[in-house]
Amino acid sequence: MAKASGIAALGEIMQLAFVPEDFDAAIRHWTEVMGVGPFFLIENIHLEGMKYRGEPTDAVFSLALAYWGDLQIELIKPHDDHPSIYSGEYAEVTGLHHVCILVDDIAHARAVCDAQGAEIMIEGKFGASEVIYVDPGEGPGSLVEILQQDPSGPDLFGMIKAAGIDWDGNDPVRTLG
């Protein structure tokens, strides 16, 4: 197998993300039809220092996370029309919106993306975690979220993944702070 290059060299895809037109119906589909869950809801997120294409934005969104085996499923609910990747030209309601990869060095990831001509669409912080969303161009579903998690924080993703092991279908949506 050839060694990955470009943005793919930063890491493997760990998440598929969707911005469904009907957020509640999407959760029902994933839990009842696909058998994925439980979903953990994080409401009214505004990234610290959030910028869209380099300009500050007040966009607010909620999201729900669950695991399908090792793959994280994210459903996103925008709350306004402030400039972001969840409104305007990047709003997606029928298919994959973006994928996510985890990195240890966001500065290195930025340099790789810059070298590939990928535009940073959104950037900001969620606690001590830092995230960028890049558009490498050419094609639908091409947005890539690159997340450097806070290594000193709780293992939120591990907790969500553990909850899905042997999940019995009860309590399909759980709220996080």
Model confidence over 49-101: pLDDT tens digits?
A: 999 999 999 999 999 999 999 999 999 999 999 999 998 888 877 789 999 99
Structure tokens at 69: 């085996």
Provide the whole-model pTM.
0.93
Low-confidence ranges of the chain (pLDDT < 50): none
What's at 94, amino acid-wise? T
Domain boundaries, the chain: 10-176
Q: Write the DSSP symbol of residue 171.
A: S
**Is residue 83 helix, strand or coil?**
coil
Domain at 10-176, CATH homologous superfamily: 2,3-Dihydroxybiphenyl 1,2-Dioxygenase, domain 1 (3.10.180.10)
Q: 90: closest CA among 100, 101, 102, 78?
A: 78
Q: Write the DSSP symbol of residue 105.
A: -
**Is residue 84 helix, strand or coil?**
coil
Is the CA virtual torsion 83, 23, 160, 4 positive or negative?
A: negative
